[in-house]
Amino acid sequence: MRASLHNLRLLAIGTPLTDTSPTPTLLFLHDMKGGVFLEQDIAPYTTYSHFTHLFLIAHEAQRLGWQIYFRSTDSDECQQILQMYPVVQLGESASFNDPAFQPTMVFGVNNTLGITSARHQKPNAMGVYVISAHFWLEKETFRTDFVEWVRVGVAKDVDFILTQNRRMEDLAYYLLNFVARWQWRDRILSAPNNFCRKVAENEAQNFDRASVRRRMQVTDDEIVIINSGGPWSWTDADVFATAFAEVVREGARRIKFLQMGIMQESNTIQAEIIPFWENYLKTNQDLIQSRQLVVFTNWREASGCLPAWNYGADIGLNVSRDSAENYQAHRVRFIDYAKAGLPVLNSTGNFYPTYDAKDAVMLVAPGDLQGYKDLLWKIERGEIDLGAKRAAMQTFRESIMSEHLIPPILKHMLATGRVPAEERAPVAKEYHDLYQSVTQHQFANNFK
């Protein structure tokens, strides 16, 4: 039995719950790229935030009494996980190739290849494709190859699609109906990435606001705005940062801006916005010296201060450019702010601020420099009731606990079952060779 599993991308598998069935078993499959760490007596950790989604699915499945295993796709060993939160408890291992092991659900996060591979060995397994974001809308992130393996996997092996919100549901239906002839709107569901009560309660207890603010060198009178997710190319953080510097130079003294990281290793997506931040640092050294502006250039150094600094801040920053990606986005930084009970300065257009958390946010249109400045001055002068915003966020925070959102979805999928084989549209002939390579584990370099 291995004591830990490192650098893994996740999938998941489960066994049905009926009056006569054994205890359901969920098996999480991985390739070797995911940056996932599961070690005895340590909280589960991943360098890719959307993989926490499967930690939460596993946690809630365990609360239903189901069994959990993890397996790397380069190994037959399946490591049992007795507990996911608050810290991992490891159990015994099992063999994936054991004929007696017959899972019923296979969950793949942004990855249909693993679902297809698992279904090749376990043909009775139900396939569940988890979409953390519609990455194919980000042309700089994924090539057209991504759409091709989604097409094959969805057409042949997916029975349910899990998204993050209703907008993503609609987009998934129209996109997958087009590329894979997916026809079942009622099999596209929302089970959003969120957080579990144990983690939220532990963090609130461990990160006392007063002590965190002392470590941050923040006074009681200062109003701290934190951007904990970094300035990605699709964010509007550069416009906000420009507005902040201008307002401070015009005389604002209470507001403080924390930019938690700029450079992230092995990330080329940020290349187009790095010059802005390099110039921003050069031209605003006086604000940095006065500590009204705190910028971590190193991503890992900033990560070492999180999530604690969220609990010491007053407002979270979650601003994105006006795009289709922003329209359907599910920003994990917004969820992190909610977990810490922070009101959020948000761009218009995102799903949660538009609907469920509208009373907890302050909205500005993307790219509106003057709009940011006007709002910052209102915050500086105390013209916005941050206490009321924080109370509204506490209400929203409770509504997105994993215990409210995930178990009903798991039970529904289990009760509904697979798409009848005769209802599936055939995969086009030109994708036959790709399908064969997937099922035989012959992954070409351009699919890695």
**3-class DSSP state for residue 186?**
helix
Res. 59: pLDDT tops 60 = yes
Residue 70 amino acid letter: F
Is 88 exposed, middle or buried (CB count within 10 Å of its CB: 0-12, 13-18, 19+)? buried
For helices 113-121 and 432-439, angle between their N-to-C axes, nearest 10 degrees: 70
Question: Which residue, chain included where needed, has tokens 């009178």?
Answer: 221
230: which 2 tokens?
A: 């970094």
Residue 55 near residue 85 (C-beta atoms within 8 A): yes
266: which 2 tokens?
A: 């092995």
Percent of the residues in the chain that have a pLDDT greater than 70, as a whole number: 84
Which carries the bigger pLDDT value, residue 81 or residue 1? 81
Top-ranked range on mean pLDDT: pick from 96-105, 210-219, 291-300, 425-434: 210-219
- CA-nearest of 205, 15, 229 to 107 is 15
pLDDT band at 331 (very low <50, low <70, confident <90, very high): confident
Pairing of strands 315-318, 344-347: parallel
Which carries the bigger pLDDT value, residue 78 or residue 251? 251
pLDDT tens digits, 78-131: 888 999 999 999 999 888 888 888 888 888 887 788 888 888 888 988 999 988
CA pair distance 127, 417, nearest whole angstrom? 10
Question: Which residue, chain included where needed, has tokens 């300065």?
Answer: 345
Res. 151: pLDDT tops 60 = yes
Q: How high is the pLDDT of residue 441?
A: 43
Residue intervals in the chain for CATH 3.40.50.2000: 199-399
Q: Identify the CATH number of the domain defined by range 4-194+402-439.
A: 3.40.50
CA pair distance 125, 115, nearest whole angstrom? 9
Res. 182: pLDDT tops 70 = yes
Q: How high is the pLDDT of residue 270?
A: 67
Res. 385: pLDDT tops 70 = yes
Residue 421 amino acid letter: A
182: which 2 tokens?
A: 């997916």
Mean pLDDT of 316-343: 89
Per DSSP, the residues of 40-104 read TTS--EESSGGGHHHHHHHHHHHHTT-EEEEEETT-SEEEEEEE-SSS-EEEEEEETT-TT---S
Q: How high is the pLDDT of residue 10?
A: 39
Residue 360 near residue 396 (C-beta atoms within 8 A): yes
Inter-CA distances, 340 with 217, 333, 400, Å: 19, 11, 13
Q: How high is the pLDDT of residue 2?
A: 37
Sign of CA dihedral 435, 439, 442, 448: positive
Q: How high is the pLDDT of residue 172?
A: 87
In angstroms, how far is CA 56 from the centroid of its own chain? 11
Q: How high is the pLDDT of residue 143?
A: 53
For residue 380, count other CB atoms closer than 10 A to its CB: 18
Which carries the bigger pLDDT value, residue 135 or residue 344? 344
What topology does CATH give the domain 199-399? Rossmann fold (3.40.50)
Inter-CA distances, 10 with 71, 257, 316, 418, Å: 9, 35, 29, 21
Q: Is the peptide bond before 22 cis (omega within 30 degrees of 0)?
A: no
pLDDT tens digits, 394-440: 999 999 999 999 999 999 999 999 999 888 877 655 544 544 454 44
For residue 242, count other CB atoms closer than 10 A to its CB: 16
Res. 165: pLDDT tops 80 = yes
For residue 49, count other CB atoms closer than 10 A to its CB: 15
Mean pLDDT of 5-12: 37
Q: How high is the pLDDT of residue 162?
A: 92
- CA-nearest of 127, 132, 188 to 154 is 127
Q: How high is the pLDDT of residue 15?
A: 43
Residue 285 near residue 249 (C-beta atoms within 8 A): no
Res. 157: pLDDT tops 80 = yes
Mean pLDDT of 44-57: 83
pLDDT band at 303 (very low <50, low <70, confident <90, very high): confident
Res. 141: pLDDT tops 70 = no
Top-ranked range on mean pLDDT: pick from 106-120, 144-158, 187-201, 263-277: 187-201
